[in-house]
Chain A
Amino acid sequence: MPASLIDGNSLLAVDVGSVTTRAAYFDVVEGQYRLIGMGHCPTTNYSAMRNLVLGVQLAVENLQSLTGKQLMDDDGRLLIPSQPDGSGVDAMVTTFSVGAPIKTLVVGLLPEISLKSAEKLAHATYARIVDSLSLNDPRRLDEQVNTIVRYSPELVLIAGGLDGGASYSIKNIIETVGLSAYLMPEEQRPAMLYAGNRALADSIKTTLSKIASELVICPNVRPALEVETPGPAQRQLANLTTNIRQRQMPELEELRTLSGGVILPSAYAQGRMVRFLSSYYGGNKYVLSVDVGASAISLAASFGEDLHLNVLPHFGLGEPLSGLLKHTTLDEIARWLPVEIPLETVRDYLYQKSLYPQCVPATHEELFIEQAIVRQSLLLSAQTMIQRLPGRYRKPGGLLPSFEPILAGGAVLTHAPSLGQKLLMLLDGLQPVGITTLVLDHNNLLAMLGVAAEVNSLLPVQVMDAGALAYLATIIAPVSDAAYGTPIVRAKLIREDGTTMTSEVNMGNLQILPLDSGQTARLELRPLRNADVGLGPGRAGAVEVIGSSLGVVIDARGRPLRLPPNTGERVKLLKKWLKTVGG
């Protein structure tokens, strides 16, 4: 891994999404790594060709035409490493999120302890939990076996037993898993990951290695009652996820070979990058990244080194939309519409989009519906993540912890026509509190940088420093129980040139203090009526803020944000907010 620019290796990063395949080319310019260009193409796994590699070739072709850099030979083969004539690229890395959620069985000893750890592990990848087994399972043995055989899981995640603790019970459960897998057709047997009592590792190997399609033994995710160490198991799970996908899509092998084995699930790479940023931004900050994809919404929250990765396939903005109404209602989606649209139209949109995940909204009405769906899906995703967080990170009232910054990517966000629309989708969906910065991953690079770090530790840092991520806005979101219309914060923005702007913001209002991109300013905040602007209830203070096209946004609309039940009033308010942020 180069720690300096001596090698100066160029890099091609490929991300195979469920809708779009993207290829990004990075190289050294004036002593710094830069993103040179990005090509894209519809993912070809779903076309009649059913071959992901074709989509990669087309994305690279697109990249070539945009950058003028020759990366492939005349037969469409990638030129790796770089050729003496300057064509080609030194290395390639790959991330992927393509594919249906992996049917997963989670196994643990106690439901509230090791089973939770196994579930948490499953949440870190593109998994759908189909069943769980634990000591308290009330089903008869043959009921358990028949259910597992019927679900035919592709992956089994096993946790259980503290290191040095009892082993008898977990052995019994594992026997059930082994028997069930044995009864499945050989070609359908699941891959298994064991991350329980390490004293059992040898016995697990003996029991399961000939039955599982692949068996991985990891360090215990719960070595002691109060200690959880999911990191090593998450890494192994990322590899296992790749292997499972490769069995489903054999052409991934070609991408793996071209990438010199450096291939990771996008969500894992995203999480890796967020954990890195948590220390990169200094002071072990709490950093959140959200990727709104067609196959899943992924939320990576890093509290210093403590990463909590949540991949939520049921909230994806593509095929999963046909199931969204199992988690919410049409009314809850439609409440975000700034115009009146019949509920039936919203419903038809959900289902039609599940058939055609690649479609983009062609009219104003479709755009409003899509953005309403994004808001509600983000809200549900954030709530799910908050519920899964350990108590030490949760805020009273189920509010989002104080993340700073919050990074957001995904085509529905980055392709929105205006910055204001991007901002409002994030504010309404995530409902951040206190003082934070919204950062837009406008090239959807985060996962690519996360996997790039595997071969070049300098590249992600330098690419980000060069502005790969765009500041969307500084957000001040006070928490207050004051009545709507009463002032809850006084703000004074003191710009570098000495000009100032003061504002008193009422509960229920959204206000912008203009501060141009590239400028910094000092923002003095004086909360009223015991409001908490992020400095503690009623506490005043000052922060340095960075400018952006949207400036500093004071979102005093309330946390949680409550919309008027009356449709007319609500639509009027949503229109007003949209106008405030520039439409």
Chain B
Amino acid sequence: MLAPLIHILPLATVTRTRLMPVEGKIIAGVGQKVNPTDTVAEAIVGRKHLVIDVAQKLDIPQREILKCIKVKKGQSVAKNDLLAESKGLFGKEIVAPANGTVVATGSGKIVLETGGAVFELRAGIPGVVTQTIGLRGVVIRATGGVIQGVWGNGKLDYGTMQSLMEGPEDLFEPARIDVSLRGTILLGGHVESQKVFQNAAELAVRGLIITSLNPALLQIASQMPFPVLVLEGFGRRPMNANAYKLLSTNIKRDVSLNAETPNRQNNARPEVFIPLPVSQEPPEPREAETFAPGQLVRVVFLSKPGRLGTILQLRPMASLPNGIKTNAAEVRLENGEQILAPLTNLEVLG
């Protein structure tokens, strides 16, 4: 059976696609070295449209409106510029209510596109641009350590990672966040209290990497101005040993935190990337694998959450203790305990 993979790798070559929500301008060129905070592309987002009903305002029939309209599609206009006018003794004028661009005229109406803000697409990771994707974004190739998570709030940043963890089963105590951690990316345990987010926001941290999250805090986590990445899931869980080891041995390094919202449709997963210099490019992570004895796996569901183990034997259509028959595997956990786990509840570490 095809196995889902989770990447927890001390060193790998990765290619990451960075896309804007709409088309814009690509700034970085193919072959260009980029830093995480470099803008690689930009676009205008959040534009508004103003529909001006010229026929109604001038009180003339639609068929006569063409000669009254004084602007063309694509034309930029400033506030109070003339848009249309009617002749005659009681002629009227219509002026632009705001700066903008005429994007449509017809059916007696003029549509102005106004406002909007510049969206700057950051590289997110230090690497080399290998490809541009139309006017939407770029592909960047980089080397370093990768730790994938399961949930993110859609934000991205780069900074020095500091740890507040003493062990993989830690609870993230809000009081541990002090002023010395301002502007850093914090590694913490399970978050049970919204005070963690409040304190982190007050100190303007660059991001939070947490083991697990009380789902009641999902909305707050989503609204944080900095990236929040959940490594294991919802409800109290320990951090898997490999992720804990890799993260805790890279404390005080600069890391990229891409808390991308998970999306099964495009296989997007949030991740921590630890840039590392290499003399020779390490291999890219495996993208596909089938379950087999000897594989290191992570238990992802409620029972034995976050535990790592090794597949001893595949058990097709085995009966679970609750009576469900499913494809399963005998797994020896790191503590020596042996469990029968449905294959659907396992991820292969790769």
Contacts and interface: CB of A to CB of B under 8 A. Distances in A.
A45 B2 contact: no
B174 interface: no
Contacts of B111: 145, 179, 183
Contact of A179 (B23, B51, B321): B51
B78 interface: no
Interface in A340-368: 344-345, 347-353, 355-367
Contact of A363 (B53, B262, B321): B321
Contact of B267 (A46, A185, A322, A418): A46
Interface string B227-250: 000000111000000000000000
B74 interface: no
Contacts of A365: 302
Residue among A50, A58, A179, A416 having the largest count of chain B Cβ atoms under 10 Å: A179
Nearest to A366: B302
Interface in A354-388: 355-367
Given A349-B302, A367-B322, A99 B287 contact: no
Residue among B2, B5, B109 having the largest count of chain A Cβ atoms under 10 Å: B2
B342 A362 contact: yes
A362 B345 contact: yes
Given A47-B267, A179-B51, A41 B344 contact: no
A355 B234 contact: yes
Nearest to B134: A187
Nearest to A140: B51
Contacts of B2: 41-42, 44, 47, 55, 58
A149 interface: yes
Interface in A88-111: 99-100
Size class of B's contact patch? 35 or more
A141 B1 contact: no
Interface residues of A, number: 52
A417 B322 contact: yes
Given A363-B303, A363-B322, A352 B49 contact: no
A356 B302 CA distance: 11
A307 to B, nearest CB: 29
B48 to A, nearest CB: 6
A48 B5 contact: yes
A100 B303 contact: no
A500 interface: no
A49 B265 contact: no
B288 interface: yes
Interface stretch (B164-172, B271-279, B323-331): B323-331
A360 B262 contact: no
B300 interface: yes
A100 B262 CA distance: 13
A357 B344 CA distance: 9
A175 B344 CA distance: 49
- Tell me the interface secondary structure of chain A in the complex: helix
B301 A366 contact: yes
B22 interface: yes
B234 A352 contact: yes
Nearest to A62: B1
B216 interface: yes
B53 A141 contact: yes
Interface string A293-330: 00000000000000000000000000100100000000
B138 interface: no
A142 B50 CA distance: 6
Interface string A272-299: 0000000000000000000000000000
Contacts of A348: 215, 234-235, 302
A346 to B, nearest CB: 10
A509 B74 CA distance: 74
Contacts of B324: 360-361, 367, 415-417
Contacts of A47: 2, 4, 267, 288
A185 B113 CA distance: 13
Nearest to A355: B150
Nearest to A418: B323
A352 B302 contact: yes
A185 B45 CA distance: 12
A145 B51 contact: yes
B234 A179 contact: no
A175 B107 contact: yes
A45 B344 contact: no
Contacts of A359: 300-301, 342, 344-345
Contacts of B301: 352-353, 356, 359, 362, 366
Contacts of A179: 51, 104, 109, 111
Contacts of B4: 42, 47
Contacts of B87: none
Contacts of B326: 360, 415
Residue among B23, B218, B303 having the largest count of chain A Cβ atoms under 10 Å: B303
A367 B215 CA distance: 21
A185 B264 contact: no
Nearest to B23: A185
A344 B288 contact: no
Contact of B48 (A146, A351, A415): A146
B151 interface: yes
B303 A351 contact: no
Contact of B302 (A44, A145, A146, A345): A345
B341 interface: yes
Interface in B259-310: 262, 264-267, 287-288, 300-303, 305
Residue among B151, B287, B323 having the largest count of chain A Cβ atoms under 10 Å: B323
Residue among B266, B300, B344 having the largest count of chain A Cβ atoms under 10 Å: B344
Contact of A49 (B113, B233, B234, B288): B288
Interface string B92-116: 0000000000011001010101000
Nearest to A175: B107
A46 B265 CA distance: 6
Nearest to A182: B104
B96 to A, nearest CB: 14
Nearest to A421: B323
A182 B323 CA distance: 56
Nearest to B341: A362
Contacts of A357: 264
B25 to A, nearest CB: 15
Given A352-B234, A360-B342, A362-B345, A142 B321 contact: no
B116 to A, nearest CB: 12
A344 B302 CA distance: 12
A183 B114 CA distance: 13
A61 to B, nearest CB: 11
Interface of B: 1-2, 4-5, 22-23, 48-51, 53, 103-104, 107, 109, 111, 113, 150-151, 215-216, 218, 233-235, 262, 264-267, 287-288, 300-303, 305, 320-326, 341-342, 344-345
8 contacts: A41-B1, A46-B265, A48-B5, A49-B288, A183-B49, A360-B324, A362-B345, A366-B301
A-B pairs, 5 with minimum CB distance? A348-B235, A417-B323, A351-B234, A48-B287, A351-B215
Interface of A: 41-42, 44-50, 55, 58, 99-100, 141-142, 145-146, 149, 175, 179, 182-183, 185, 248, 319, 322, 344-345, 347-353, 355-367, 415-418
Given A348-B235, A351-B235, 9 more contacts: A145-B111, A319-B264, A345-B235, A352-B301, A353-B301, A360-B342, A362-B302, A362-B321, A363-B303
